[in-house]
Copies of this chain bind each other. A is one copy, B any other.
Amino acid sequence: MKRKVFFISDRTGITAEMFGQSLLSQFENVEFDEMTIPFIDNIDKAKDACKIIQDAEQESGLRAIVFDTIVTPEIRSVIQSSGALVLDFFHTFIGPLETELGETSGFRVGKTHSLTDGKAYDSRIESVNFALNNDDGISTRHYDKADVILVGVSRCGKTPTSLYMAMQFGIKAANYPFTEDDMERLKLPAALTKQKNKIFGLTINPGRLHEIRTERRANSRYASLKQCQFEVREVESLYRREKIPYLNTTTRSVEELATKILAAAGIKRKVF
């Protein structure tokens, strides 16, 4: 039987999920069946959640594991009463913080930055729009406003990395592709030479690139292993010649790439 796991929150549950996942990943021999229950922001909803937990325990015959990030003590204690192993993120750490800061917690349910209002719009959403408007070399006019400009061959991971940096860190990332036509005598175009300190290179293993491009355009010259090998070789040689810092995307997550690029470029990440 799989062990039932619940991520429970008075907000979106995203922090509870990340918190729980990073702990559960330590137990390779246990199979988990996970469920997120967000927006548990009153006693009645907490009682409903309790019922779901207890039904799951009856079904599996195993005690459930609950990761919760609920702020309000009264709501939290309903979840505690479920009988599951409740790992309570908020309650565990708020006490030591109160002592250290000499202030009591307001027990405010997490303030969120709204999608279209005020500062959040100005940073995250503006950055997402910047990434979209400066994706794939469609425009090089705004490179002076970019925090970073990612370069690399087609399908090496530039777009998802740019978008993640925008969404998670509020960073303005443009990206520019080196295409087949650039490959003979590859050099930096003028638009990039002017912003050389902002350029960060991505590369990828040619075999994996071949697979990804084949999904997109099977049996094309573009997707052929030979072409992938050629493009990657040329681009990596450019990076070395021009002393452009670069990373291989093949074994790295978008989180890891975004974090390493910001660190290497000396850009302070914004925390939301």
Contact = CB atoms under 8 A, between A and B. Distances in A.
Contacts of A94: 23, 26
Contacts of A111: 25
A101 B29 CA distance: 10
A259 B38 contact: yes
A90 B87 CA distance: 12
Interface string A241-254: 00000000111111
B65 A100 contact: yes
A250 B118 CA distance: 10
Interface stretch (A139-147, A152-160, A179-187): A152-160
Interface stretch (A163-171, A217-225, A228-236): A163-171
B116 A157 contact: yes
A34 B254 CA distance: 23
What is the count of identical protomers in the complex? 2
Interface residues of A, number: 87
A69 interface: yes
B115 A252 contact: yes
Nearest to A69: B22
A115 B19 contact: no
A269 interface: yes
A188 interface: no
Contact of A160 (B164, B167, B251, B255): B167
A157 B93 CA distance: 35
15 contacts: A11-B256, A12-B255, A14-B255, A15-B22, A19-B89, A23-B94, A26-B71, A26-B105, A27-B106, A30-B103, A112-B253, A114-B252, A116-B249, A163-B167, A167-B254
Given A26-B107, A114-B252, A116-B212, 19 more contacts: A7-B271, A12-B256, A12-B258, A12-B259, A14-B18, A15-B19, A18-B18, A23-B94, A25-B110, A26-B105, A36-B271, A85-B97, A87-B96, A112-B253, A115-B161, A115-B257, A116-B250, A128-B159, A128-B163
